[in-house]
Structure 1
Amino acid sequence: MSDQQDLQKIAHLRREYTRGGLRRRDLTDAPLPLFERWLSQACEARLADPTAMVVATVDASGQPFQRIVLLKHFDERGMVFYTNLGSRKAQQIEQNPRICLLFPWHVLDRQVIVQGHAERLSTLEVMKYFHSRPRDSQIGAWVSKQSSRISARGVLESKFLELRQKFRQGDIPLPSFWGGFRVSLDQIEFWQGGEHRLHDRFLYRREADAWQIDRLAP
């Protein structure tokens, strides 16, 4: 059988989601405690990169882009990630701060979708996190002009060695072009896979100081 024939079989790939449902009685009044519970369970299940989330942005022409980053902090104010401020995603956020996050916990038959607005973090917040990173990761932030074109990987490696020598002593300064964003929690959807494709979906929508919870059809 040819590789092409094998690929054509993907239309028939499917499995049942049998890990249990999500019922109204399982929900919390606000979404953050439920998110914290699910994230804790993802960590306990030893998922690879349980804090990995897909970040979706839109450019000036309306073209959507997605990429995976790591969640670094969350609280009632929102969810935090860090990036090069000259990167494509950071530039798109500056033009359109509306953003969507997706946590794809496939092994647990779960997804969490967050919709909100992204705001730049303060320099103090960024500096505190930057200096908590491994030293080589701090140097790596200096090396890459994210999303720019480069001729070869060797360019990055040479720059890394050069900067490692330059910063061999003392603290590594925070690059002016490196920062972070906090995504507000405007809407959060919890998705739990169910048998016969009868999935459970609950949407939390912020209304003033309260949360409206709706069950959505799968």
Structure 2
Amino acid sequence: MQRDGIFAGDNPFQIARDWLAEAETGELNDPNAVALATVDPSGLPNVRMVLLKDITDTGFWFYTNYESAKGQEIAASGKAAMVLHWKSLRRQVRIRGDVVKEDGPEADAYFASRSLKSRLGAWASHQSQPLESRTKLMAEVAKVTSRKGANPARPPFWGGFRIVPVEIEFWADGAFRLHDRFVWRRETHENAWEIQRLSP
């Protein structure tokens, strides 16, 4: 099966990194924005936008409040899916797989790299929980600011998740809606990838 041009390569993570790097030069806003899909305990899907923070050869990384709806749904199922879509490139990458919680040094380092206001906001927000008013939220931020100071540590309820994919699909727009699609699949993380071209 011939895969050349933007689809060439033996490492799907590197292809994804290359596409993201290309998007960073042309996509106007948040080229690392991804739609993250999870399911609730009844099996009802949930999807929301989050920011992808890294693509390594071990998976796709993002950070959130573990007590949020997505955090709880991931904890319950251990699985998630995401899609990166770049309108400027007319391309997308779809990822499905198991999720690993990352609350060690990488999470500490990323939290420390965020702006002070974002770090304080992470402490103040009970993400996904009912909120009486914005005034109440800002009051909580003020309280946290006085308690935590100028260098708050990462909250124990906030950190990283890494999707370890068993499926990665690369999609590029084609003339007359005859798109190019290649999917990389493996049964487990230890298995070798199998690659197929899919009909548009």
Residue 109 of structure 2 corresponds to 128
Measure, in 2, the Cα distance between the counterparts of 1:161 and 1:122: 26
Structure 1, unaligned runs of 5 or more: 1-22
Following the alignment from structure 2 to structure 1, what is the Cα–Cα distance between the partners of residues 48 and 175? Answer: 30
- Secondary structure of 1:148's partner? coil
Q: Which residue of structure 1 lines up, in the alignment, with residue 156 of structure 2?
A: 176
Match for residue 134 of structure 2 among 145, 153, 171: 153
Q: Which has the higher contact order (CA 8 A, sep 6+)?
A: 1
2:175 is aligned with 1:195: yes
Query: Contact conserved, 1:29 with 1:211, CA < 8 A, in 2?
Result: no
Question: Which residue identity does 1:199 align to in structure 2?
Answer: H
Answering whether residue 24 of structure 2 is matched by residue 43 of structure 1, we say yes
- Name the residue aligned to 1:162: 143
CA distance in 1, matches of 2:34, 2:60: 11
State yes or no: 1:84 paired with 2:65: yes
Matched, 1:211 2:193: yes
Per-residue displacement from partner, 1:176-208 (whole Å, max 9, x unpaired)?
Answer: 211211110211101101111101111011364
* 1:68-97 Cα distance to aligned partner (Å, 9 max, x none): 111111211111111111100111111111
* Residue in structure 1 matched with residue 3 of structure 2 by the alignment: 24
Equivalents in 2 of 1:93, 1:104: separation in Å?
22
Deviations 1:90-134 (A, max 9, x none): 111111112101001122111100111111113332212111111
Corresponding letter in the other structure for 2:169: E
Q: TM-score, normalised by structure 2?
A: 0.92
Equivalent residues of 2:84, 2:93 under 8 A apart: yes
Deviations 1:120-152 (A, max 9, x none): 113332212111111111101001000000111
| Cα distance in structure 2, aligned partners of 1:65 and 1:122 | 23
CA shift, 1:33, in A, is: 1.6
How many equivalent pairs are there?
195
Alignment-derived partner of residue 75 in structure 1:
56
TM-score (structure 1 length as normaliser):
0.85
- Root mean square deviation of aligned Cα: 1.5
Aligned sequence identity (%): 40
Structure ID, larger Rg: 1
